[in-house]
Structure 1
Amino acid sequence: MKIEHAAIWVKDIEAMKTFYVRYFNGTANKKYHNKEKAFQSYFLTFDGGARLEIMSQSDKDKPDQDDRVGWAHIAMSLGSIESVDQKTAQLQQDGYRLVNGPRVTGDGYHESVIEDPEGNLLELTV
């Protein structure tokens, strides 16, 4: 198992992308934009393969999310769809809260999101 990526909520997604590309030699993928959820993200890849997802969302129906910034989750790559589904079921069975999934996201990830014992989000992905 390996940490697949870390994710952070940002206010200005373009400025943050420019910062990480310019100062840390990150390479950005094409921006993902889900208009229905007013959600945008970039995955930045760095030397050695580490990845950072920068995300923004402005949804007037969810005022608590308008100013959301900071680290969002850590993603664990489990290697297969079956492993994601099995680990999700195991954690749910052991009493950990399933936030969403397992599902295929709009940008093609098979994932689920579980809360750890302190409520931090743990994304399980292939």
Structure 2
Amino acid sequence: MKIEHVAIWVKDIERMKEFYTHYFGAECNSLYVNEKKGFASYFLTFSSGSRLELMNKVGINEHSLPEHLGWAHVAFSVGSKEEVDRLTKKIGKDGYTVKGNPRITGDGYYESVIEDPEGNVVEITI
């Protein structure tokens, strides 16, 4: 068994698509739109086969309650300490928030913690 995909509600679907394709190498399908429901989504596929669905719907905006948007965190494995360091530095240099610089955690992970454009927590691990 495997998780087929994870979905996240987003405010700015295009900006979020660009972030995950640019920094994490995701391939993106065409935008799906259901005008009757006011719904749109992209599926992003990563090199491992994992997929992330970015979803937007009329009414999901800056006035929505925080617990109705996003996740606790998602972790991306990038394969090495050097790549964790490099990607964290690049994301910070590009103006995104680095919440935690690369380190070994209490449970043995080597990781950094950043925020995507909408403030969702992303861990970058080996």
TM-score (structure 2 length as normaliser):
0.49
Query: Structure 1 or 2: larger strand share?
Result: 1
